[in-house]
Amino acid sequence: MNVAGTRSRLEAVLEAIANSENAIVEAFVAGKGSGLFRSEAALRHLLTVNATIIAEALRDLPEQLTAAHPEVPWAKLAQQMGDRSGAGASAGEDESWALTTRELAPMRLAVKAMLTDLDRAERL
């Protein structure tokens, strides 16, 4: 396993998750939630770009890391986020919003645990 490359991909996922979560929080603070997602092209674009980053990184994660964190459906999420990013802003907006809001927190926790696993492995 290329530890540096894996670490870089995991850090990119964390950054994309943070950017998405911040945008989602702003949408809820504005009182619009998923309605803002449907009406604001900039928000759709930001979440789509972040979904692309996440999907690409997830596809390249080593099996031993993803297998250690089965609480996240890695392959399914990579496929769904990849499909979403290629489908355009108007395709499946409600599903896209639900996927983004439902899956980011568990993924963030698992990615942080993976980084900890990598740190442990490097010290051995």
> What are the pLDDT digits (tens) for 9-57?
999 999 999 988 887 777 766 666 666 666 677 777 787 888 888 888 8
With a cut of 80, say whether residue 124 has pLDDT above it: no
Q: Domain range spanning residue 27?
A: 3-123
Report the percent of the chain where pLDDT is more than 70.
Answer: 73
Closest CA to 16 of 55, 45, 53, 59: 53
Token duo for residue 37: 């997602």
Q: In 3D, which of 4, 10, 5 has the Cα closest to residue 107?
A: 10
Q: How many domains does the chain have?
A: 1
Based on the number of CB atoms within 10 Å of its own CB, is 114 exposed (0-12), middle (13-18) or buried (19 or more)? Answer: buried
